[in-house]
Structure 1
Amino acid sequence: MGTGNARPTDSRAQDGGSSVKPFGDKCVHLCVDMQRMFAASTDWKTPWMPRVLPHVHRLAAAHPERTIFTRFIPAARPGEGRGTWATYSQRWADMTRERLDPDLIDLIPDLGRLVPPAEILDKDVYSPWLNTDLDARLQARGADTLIITGAETDVCVLAAVLGGVDLGYRIVLATDALCSSCDEAHDAMLLMYRMRYGHQVETMTTAEILDHWR
């Protein structure tokens, strides 16, 4: 997570939208790390986040009761963490909790107001699947499909996607509701999803998703 100017990318559904399987009550919106510390002027600012926020909010507001927001919780202090996470928290010392305004860990206010009925899931690594109850929450809902939005396309979103694929979920990426701090990596990831994960990962715009999620 650094600085840059990575842009959101619009996409058509892989099959043109003509035979997209509708989203029903087994679909959950997983919104990754849309937090104030990534929107504010911090070391982890993601410049395109304000641009994708309206799309993220539109999806979340359409079905807040079926939305789970993840929050990345930084280390408490520099040097905390296992292995390379210890050097990571040293590298980003100003982003540790002992130095960071605690309010910046919160969701962007427009999204935070949707909780409840939306839920929050906290994590301390990129993946929302490790050391959390995310899979259990989804299984309790009978979910089989995840619509994924948020930041960053090539870091925490990537971890969410691959973990979801491994657990057998149908993954749908809202391409105009994703952002990164690196243009090249953002574009490369979307290309990879389309070319290498077509059976398990679909790419659609927010409008296309909402057209199929009644």
Structure 2
Amino acid sequence: MAALGLVHGPLGENSLHLCVDMQRLFAPGGPWAVPWAQNVAAGHRGIDRKTSAANAVHTFVPAARPGEGPGMWARYYQRWAEVTLADIDAGLVDLMPSLARFVPPARTLDKHVYSPWTEGRLDAMLNGSGIDTLVITGGETDVCVLATVLGSIDRGFRVVLATDAICSSVDQTHEALLELYRSRFSEQVETVMIEEVLENWR
């Protein structure tokens, strides 16, 4: 199914590009490599160049040690002990080099769970800012992007999802989530191609 477009009109000065987890951790050669991550990074660069300071980047920070974290996260990091900070190169948490050069002026916020909303840093940044629209890109479509989108909807933001700038390690669930966004959230999520975002961000 084709992207549905910016049905609520052009993007304005109250828009923010929110980039999710485009880090070396998920790049080719990383311990959680997402095959499409490198491909969609080009789309991120296009948005970053156009929007300059209107960018925020979330980076996923794993637990410090195996078995650390609240509740089921402790079990998660027993399973993924080799991806804790104790066992990986700390530089893997950094942004992919092609995107890191946009920081600053882009702002970065760390998170330790899938959602960027849970720990309060994103709310704190946006409260009182006048931002009413979030253009969301990054990975993975069916994990952290999903958590970002749902939290954005709950807070009443206009959500614009750049479909050719999101990716997943599983094609089947990537496609299923795109269908979900388009069919069940069509009043609250606009699914568009990057080209349309760039042409209509004024």
TM range (shorter): over 0.9
Tell me which moved more, 61-70 or 136-145.
136-145
User: 1:93 — aligned with what?
Assistant: 81
Write the distance in 1 (CA, Å) between the matches of 2:129 and 2:100: 22
Write the distance in 1 (CA, Å) between the matches of 2:141 and 2:28: 18
Q: Does 1:34 align with 2:22?
A: yes
User: 2:179 — aligned with what?
Assistant: 191
Write the distance in 1 (CA, Å) between the matches of 2:21 and 2:161: 15
Write the distance in 2 (CA, Å) between the matches of 1:51 and 1:113: 17
Write the distance in 2 (CA, Å) between the matches of 1:157 and 1:186: 10
User: 2:47 — aligned with what?
Assistant: 59
Q: Residues 65-80 of structure 1: matches in 2 within 5 Å?
A: 65-80=53-68
Write the distance in 1 (CA, Å) between the matches of 2:51 and 2:137: 14
Q: Give 1:64 deviation, angstroms.
A: 2.4
Matched positions, count: 202
Tell me which moved more, 19-28 or 60-69.
19-28
Q: Secondary structure at the match of 2:136?
A: strand
Q: Does 1:129 align with 2:117?
A: yes
Write the distance in 2 (CA, Å) between the matches of 1:11 and 1:67: 26
Write the distance in 1 (CA, Å) between the matches of 2:13 and 2:29: 38
Write the distance in 1 (CA, Å) between the matches of 2:134 and 2:87: 34
User: 2:92 — aligned with what?
Assistant: 104
Q: Give 1:20 deviation, angstroms.
A: 4.2
Do 2:24 and 2:30's aligned partners in 1 also have CA atoms closer than 8 Å? no
* Aligned amino acid, residue 23 of structure 1: L
User: 1:148 — aligned with what?
Assistant: 136
Write the distance in 2 (CA, Å) between the matches of 1:141 and 1:110: 28
Q: Secondary structure at the match of 1:65?
A: coil
* Aligned amino acid, residue 179 of structure 1: C
Q: Secondary structure at the match of 1:111?
A: helix
Write the distance in 1 (CA, Å) between the matches of 2:168 and 2:184: 20
Q: Give 1:132 deviation, angstroms.
A: 2.7
